[in-house]
Amino acid sequence: MRPTDILIVSDFDHTLTGSDHTVPQANRDAIEAFMDAGGAFTVGTGRARGFFAPQLGQVPHNAPVVLSNGAAIYHYETDQTLYMAHFGQTELEQIPRLMEFVGPEMRMTVEAGFQDYMPEELWRWGDDPDGWMPKWWLENAHKIEHLNMPQPPKRMPLAQIPQPWVKLVFTGDQPGIDALGAFAESVGLCGIHSLPGMYEIQPAGVDKGSGARRLAEMLGRRVLVCIGDAPNDTSMLKEADYGFVPVSAEPEMLKLGFRPCAHMDDGAVADVIAQIMQMCE
């Protein structure tokens, strides 16, 4: 195995970044050295294109980014969409039923292409002056302010939101999220609890793992290395030839048997690169 064979795909939040939500210098230096040696490095994130764009400047990379939990692969430098998944007709027919679970403590957005929309039918439940953030989101904003929220979603009746639909995102109180997730799975929709109080639904067969492997094949890289700390990273850790979990990851992730790496504040990605380089010829 040589660096020129390898694609490393790292989760962003709490994997590539530390607890201060910035990329440690140790990670930056290690990534630059890995790329200089011929390796390919990028990020695999649940964030959409506009949501991740503000972070791009602190991430050394030389490959397109896997976005929206694997639903899109986008090359920021050339403004090229290399891949985008979308819901099929059977899945689209089930989505209006989900709105029955979206009450005043929840928020639903539709990621259509690279634009976010909020169904007009739900706007009346907004708690802020602009009418788009529910009470839960406002009360928990201090916990997620590092995400650099993009502009509010466009407001439009659900039936008029343009296709293709790439992802649905639900946020709110955990009991409501749990009930919605259980219903979604009962009707065959594919979802994941990305964060506490957040549930994301994507097209069947789409996840970070499929996105990372698809990118590796596009680039002709036969060895896929993935790093992640949260449940939505599990698919790419399983898909990887070498999957790593920071010791600072969520407790359930540490029990899955993947290779350990350093704490996010101590340069988790730098540690992975050091381990991988030791395996190279």
Enumerate the domain spans of the chain: 3-84+207-279, 89-202
In the DSSP assignment, the letter for residue 68 is G
% of the chain at pLDDT higher than 90 = 60
Q: Does the pLDDT at position 132 exceed 50?
A: no
H or E segment at 190?
strand 190-195
Q: What is the largest CA-CA distance in the chain?
A: 61
Cα–Cα distance, 126 to 132 (Å, whole number): 5
Q: What is the model's pLDDT at position 154?
A: 82
| Domain 3-84+207-279 annotated CATH 3.40.50.1000 | yes
Cα–Cα distance, 202 to 86 (Å, whole number): 8
Name residues whose C-beta falls within 8 Å of residue 104's C-beta, 6 or more positions apart in sequence: 125, 127, 134, 135
pTM exceeds 0.75 for this model? yes
Three-state DSSP class for 40? strand
% of the chain at pLDDT higher than 70 = 89
H or E segment at 6?
strand 6-10
Identical fold for domains 3-84+207-279 and 89-202, yes or no, is no
pLDDT tens by residue, 221-246:
999 999 999 888 999 999 999 999 99
Pick the CATH number of 89-202 from 1.10.3720.10, 3.40.50.300, 3.40.1280.10, 3.30.1240.10: 3.30.1240.10
